[in-house]
Amino acid sequence: MTLLRAEGLTRHYPLPRTRVLGPRPRLTAIENASFTISAGETLGVVGESGSGKSTLARLVMAFEKPDAGSVAFDGKDLHSLSRPDLRRLRPEFQMIFQDPYGSLDPRRTVGWSLGEPLRAMGADEGCKIADSLVQVGLHAEDATKFPHEFSGGQRQRIAIARAIITRPQLLVADEAVSALDVSVRAQILNLLMDLQEELGLAMLFISHDMAVVAALCDTLMVLKSGNVLEQGNAAAILNAPQHEYTQSLLTAAGTP
């Protein structure tokens, strides 16, 4: 069953004028990207900085509107929903971010941050916060602490706990393990796999590291400067990359 369907997604950003008259130059962040994610499946998006992968995440999360194309979540076009309707739908798709130091409000306790999505949907907090913390390998008592009391890996666990607390169907992860040490990264990747099996989560997993994407993804999309170079079955691309650029990313991720 298709959970998310993106068609012809295109987004340009205006650049500062270089001449007084004439058209304003623009940066193509993403050009004509189409993909689908089925329930419980993971799509990996690989590319380097400037490839448009973060723009893709913001479009899927409906943080900004595309210049062309559409994103349909569960059959509903995200970018044509009214604001209240979109807010009601938000608990169904959540996001985890790259920087574990920036994704938690430093002035709020962990419990407060975890409760935010619940309060937004008007749900009862109950013991969900404690459950969610335990689910990501932390302790219920951690809810009263502040983010600075945790290591990077632990903070990323907290961010994941917040993302799954509303029992979403889709998780968007933008470079979610890139800032972590190798051994911590493996722990978090395993946690994501556990949660995916437990909750039947679909994932849009964005990374610059082929090795990480390989460990987690069913399908793959390779981006370069806003263009889709190749996409399809992950194993097929990893075993026989069609594009030189994909090959070079694989080399860079190679084993020591």
Binding residues (CB under 8 A) for other proteins: these are 48-49, 61, 63, 87-88, 90-91, 93-95, 97-99, 102-108, 113, 116-117, 120-121, 151-154, 159, 162-163, 166, 181-187, 189-190, 193, 196-197, 208-212, 214-216, 235, 238-239, 248-256
SS3 (DSSP) at 19: coil
User: Taking the complex as a whole, how short is the minimal distance between the CB of residue 16 and other proteins, in angstroms?
Assistant: 13
User: Taking the complex as a whole, how short is the minimal distance between the CB of residue 107 and other proteins, in angstroms?
Assistant: 5
Closest to 156 in 3D by CA, of 194, 110, 222 = 110
DSSP β-ladder status, 170-174 and 202-207: parallel
Closest to 237 in 3D by CA, of 208, 213, 256 = 213
In the DSSP assignment, the letter for residue 149 is G
| Residues sharing a CB contact under 8 Å with residue 37, sequence separation 6 or more, in sequence order | 2, 3, 4, 43, 170, 202, 203, 204, 219
Q: Which amino acid would we find at residue 198?
A: E
User: Taking the complex as a whole, how short is the minimal distance between the CB of residue 67 and other proteins, in angstroms?
Assistant: 16
Question: For other proteins, which is the closer residue by CB, 86 or 140?
Answer: 86
Question: For other proteins, which is the closer residue by CB, 45 or 215?
Answer: 215
User: Taking the complex as a whole, how short is the minimal distance between the CB of residue 33 and other proteins, in angstroms?
Assistant: 20
Angle between helices 110-120 and 152-164 (to 10 degrees): 20
Question: For other proteins, which is the closer residue by CB, 89 or 140?
Answer: 89
User: Taking the complex as a whole, how short is the minimal distance between the CB of residue 183 and other proteins, in angstroms?
Assistant: 5
SS3 (DSSP) at 184: helix
Question: For other proteins, which is the closer residue by CB, 94 or 231?
Answer: 94
Give the other-Cβ count within 10 Å of 142's Cβ. Answer: 22
Question: For other proteins, which is the closer residue by CB, 32 or 253?
Answer: 253
